[in-house]
A and B are shown apart, each in its own frame.
Chain A
Amino acid sequence: MNDQTYPSRSGWIAGIIVTVILFVLPVFLGNLGKTGEYWIWVSTEMIIMALFAMSLNLILGFGGMVSFGHAAFFGVGAYTVALLMKKADFPLYLALPAAPMVAAVTAAFIGWFCVRLSGLYFSILTLAFGQLLFMIVFQWYTFTGGDDGLHGVPRPEILGPINYYWLCLIIFMVCFLVIRMIVNSSFGLTIKTIRENLDRAKFVGINVRRYQLLNFVIAGAFAGLSGGMLCELNRFAQTEFLHWSKSAEPILASLVGGMYSLAGPAIGSSVLIFLKIFLQQVHRSMVEIWAIFLGVLLLIVVLFAPQGLVGLYQNIFHKSRS
């Protein structure tokens, strides 16, 4: 079985332990003053980006569709929250749910065209649409603030750093379970079948485009939610959220973590963010060459461990067992 979506008993136990640790983590960090606050912020970002990576992996790992425009939905979610809260005075509990909805509508529009293409052409069209959206946000000063972005997104008073961390963690947990459910459902099996052999899938009667589009929309919705969450964390939305280099982040995370596993992309994303900050702590100038470091890491993964960290771990684990 190549898709690692069926947790064993030890998997469950590990999951519960990790969950508990994640929930009590900010309590400890809260006592560490400034450093602790910084790490709470970092952890919140990790959780959000983990959700973004998992959303991409619905189409990338499970659907076999390589999108270079996924940040478009992330950015649309972020701008939805920023615009609704800043310009329309929406409260967060209405603005945040609106993010995945607006992102889903955007994904439905873009996806309707994209799923007509496959392989490389699909990738390039997602890139084109993503950059198109980026350019529109970039140029439309009066509405989006252009390259200044939208700053000063209000934060409800009750949501201090720790509370916001918990909110994000709960949202993440729910999304994780929902994504797991989707992946293991009949629908999940359908999209995996399409990934395996698109042409043959048609000959078992699967309306390929329809399910690819639906999957694209679901992934877009989760990306939009994560974008909205990051917008509220940073209290701003900026054009970089839609840029294609942002689209590459969850791809890298999925590759590093392992595309065919459920938690792999989330782990990969967290590992990458942690590495970046770790390097920064080691020496400030290390961040200067972060991209080089990331590039070299990516080269190594592509050339030597295309199954990702999870795959690597499984290979070693299986070898040691047999």
Chain B
Amino acid sequence: MTWQLFVFMMINGLSQGMLLFIIASGLSLVFGVLRVINFAHGSIYMIGAFLAYSLSTILSGQSLIGFLILLMVVPPVIAILGLALEVTLFRRVYREEHLLQLLLTYALVLILDDLVRVIWGGEPRSVARPELLAGSVDIFGMALPSYNVFILVVGPMIAIGLWLLLYRTRTGNIIRAAVSFPDTLGALGVNVSWVMTSTFMLGCWLAGFGGVLTAGLSNIDLGIGMQTIIECFAVVVIGGLGSVGGALLGSLIIGTGLTFFQLPFGRWALVFPYALMALVLIIRPWGFFGKPER
């Protein structure tokens, strides 16, 4: 392997990992605060991607502004969808057993995935990249796809943004307290249900953001929801359920692993996330960053 190839694959793998992080961090946050594993997170992300597609057909051309509008508009719309779901459905099952919570979110997968099919049809779609991001950039004398580089810039920004939000704001303190001490929150005089709703909206916002980025990166079809939710599971299991830092680590491992294993193993590389997920669960079920639940 030449070092150029290595760098090229690294860029590719890391940008995939970053994209996955944006989506998976939402799943992880929602689990951390709501204690619900949201199977429908992938479907919500898929809606974001298809919404970006529809909006891009209205906003003509490949202008950077148009793409930025997508990034500005779609995630909040998805967050509002999340608000509706949380208020009408999720809220009613927080006190129920895990199974009922999982089934509720699974019911949403069935409904949302089918709605996407009814609305957008089965054909693969994509969003035209703005000209500025469609070509390649010269770094170290190598031509690297600028869209991947763009994701590599945006991903860490999201990560830093999340970090600032979680560790430098009062809301973040409350969210972190909710993750660590779910029972005591009410006693602190915090409006627990508001914390939960806004966390869920944040999770959906991240899913929507990831959806827009995906629509520009590759073709989107009806399978991406399922595929992504499973990859997100792998990520949060590896990183530890509820840990955003863990989600970052897990995403980068999965992203680079998938890319690099393709060389020796070809299509078998796709087995990697599942194998790693099973392995982590066996040796350290609470993940690398999570805490064992007692």
> Which residues of A are in contact with B by a Cβ distance under 8 Å?
60, 66, 113, 116-117, 119-121, 123-125, 127-129, 131-132, 135-136, 139, 244-245, 248, 251-252, 255, 288-292, 294-296, 298-299, 302-303, 306
> Which residues of B are in contact with A by a Cβ distance under 8 Å?
37, 89, 92-93, 96, 98-100, 102-104, 106-111, 113-115, 117-118, 226, 230, 233-234, 237, 241, 267-268, 270-271, 274-275, 277-278, 281-282, 285-286
Give the nearest-CB partner of B275 in chain A. A132
Q: Which of B100, B108, B226, B281 contacts A121 (CB 8 A)?
A: B281
How far is the CB of B98 from the nearest CB of chain A, in Å?
Answer: 6
A289 & B114 in contact (Cβ 8 Å cutoff): yes
What residues of chain A lie closer than 8 Å to B286, measured between beta carbons? Answer: 121
Q: What are 26 inter-chain pairs, A to B, with CB distance below 8 A?
A: A66-B98, A66-B99, A119-B98, A120-B37, A124-B233, A124-B281, A125-B282, A125-B285, A128-B233, A128-B278, A128-B281, A131-B230, A131-B274, A244-B230, A245-B226, A291-B110, A292-B110, A292-B111, A292-B114, A294-B107, A294-B110, A295-B114, A296-B107, A299-B104, A302-B103, A306-B96
B110 & A255 in contact (Cβ 8 Å cutoff): no
B237 & A299 in contact (Cβ 8 Å cutoff): no
What residues of chain B lie closer than 8 Å to A244, measured between beta carbons? Answer: 230
Binding site of A, secondary structure by majority: helix, strand, loop or mixed? Answer: helix
How far is the CB of B291 from the nearest CB of chain A, in Å?
Answer: 13
A135 & B274 in contact (Cβ 8 Å cutoff): yes
What residues of chain B lie closer than 8 Å to A123, measured between beta carbons? Answer: 98, 102
Give the nearest-CB partner of A132 in chain B. B274
Give the nearest-CB partner of A60 in chain B. B99
Residue among A120, A132, A306 with most chain B CB within 10 A: A120
What residues of chain B lie closer than 8 Å to A136, measured between beta carbons? Answer: 271
Q: In the bound complex, how far is the Cα of B281 from the Cα of A113, in angstroms?
A: 9
What residues of chain B lie closer than 8 Å to A255, measured between beta carbons? Answer: 103
B274 & A117 in contact (Cβ 8 Å cutoff): no
Give the nearest-CB partner of A131 in chain B. B274
Give the nearest-CB partner of A127 in chain B. B233
Q: List 15 additional contacts besides A113-B281, A291-B111; criterion CB under 8 Å.
A: A117-B281, A120-B98, A124-B237, A135-B274, A139-B267, A244-B230, A289-B114, A292-B118, A294-B107, A295-B107, A295-B114, A298-B106, A302-B100, A302-B103, A306-B100
A288 & B118 in contact (Cβ 8 Å cutoff): yes
Q: In the bound complex, how far is the Cα of B103 from the Cα of A66, in angstroms?
A: 11
Q: In the bound complex, how far is the Cα of B113 from the Cα of A120, in angstroms?
A: 24
Closest 3 CB pairs of A and B: A295-B110, A295-B111, A298-B107
Q: In the bound complex, how far is the Cα of B278 from the Cα of A129, in angstroms?
A: 6
Q: In the bound complex, how far is the Cα of B268 from the Cα of A139, in angstroms?
A: 7
Contact count A vs B, C-beta below 8 Å? 105
A117 & B285 in contact (Cβ 8 Å cutoff): yes
Residue among A127, A129, A255, A302 with most chain B CB within 10 A: A302
B107 & A299 in contact (Cβ 8 Å cutoff): yes
Q: Which of A128, A288, A289, A302 contacts B274 (CB 8 A)?
A: A128
How far is the CB of B105 from the nearest CB of chain A, in Å?
Answer: 10
A113 & B107 in contact (Cβ 8 Å cutoff): no
A303 & B92 in contact (Cβ 8 Å cutoff): yes
Contacts known (A139-B271, A298-B103, A299-B107); A116 close to B98, Cβ less than 8 A:
no
Q: In the bound complex, how far is the Cα of B89 from the Cα of A139, in angstroms?
A: 38
B277 & A128 in contact (Cβ 8 Å cutoff): yes
Q: Which of A116, A127, A132 contacts B271 (CB 8 A)?
A: A132
How far is the CB of B209 from the nearest CB of chain A, in Å?
Answer: 25
What residues of chain A lie closer than 8 Å to B268, measured between beta carbons? Answer: 139
What residues of chain B lie closer than 8 Å to A139, measured between beta carbons? Answer: 267-268, 270-271
What residues of chain A lie closer than 8 Å to B117, measured between beta carbons? Answer: 288
Q: In the bound complex, how far is the Cα of B102 from the Cα of A255, in angstroms?
A: 12
Contacts known (A120-B98, A131-B230, A289-B114); A299 close to B89, Cβ less than 8 A:
yes
Q: Which of B92, B98, B118, B282 contacts A289 (CB 8 A)?
A: B118
What residues of chain B lie closer than 8 Å to A117, measured between beta carbons? Answer: 281, 285
How far is the CB of B103 from the nearest CB of chain A, in Å?
Answer: 5
A291 & B113 in contact (Cβ 8 Å cutoff): yes
Contacts known (A291-B111, A299-B89, A302-B107); A132 close to B118, Cβ less than 8 A:
no
How far is the CB of A146 from the nearest CB of chain B, in Å?
Answer: 9
What residues of chain A lie closer than 8 Å to B108, measured between beta carbons? Answer: 295, 299
Give the nearest-CB partner of B270 in chain A. A135
Q: In the bound complex, how far is the Cα of B113 from the Cα of A245, in angstroms?
A: 12
Q: In the bound complex, how far is the Cα of B271 from the Cα of A98, in angstroms?
A: 27
What residues of chain A lie closer than 8 Å to B106, measured between beta carbons? Answer: 248, 298
What residues of chain B lie closer than 8 Å to A252, measured between beta carbons? Answer: 103
Q: In the bound complex, how far is the Cα of B234 from the Cα of A135, in angstroms?
A: 14
Give the nearest-CB partner of A251 in chain B. B103
What residues of chain B lie closer than 8 Å to A294, measured between beta carbons? Answer: 107, 110
What residues of chain B lie closer than 8 Å to A116, measured between beta carbons? Answer: 282
What residues of chain A lie closer than 8 Å to B230, measured between beta carbons? Answer: 127, 131, 244
How far is the CB of A297 from the nearest CB of chain B, in Å?
Answer: 8
What residues of chain A lie closer than 8 Å to B98, measured between beta carbons? Answer: 66, 119-120, 123
Residue among A131, A255, A306 with most chain B CB within 10 A: A131
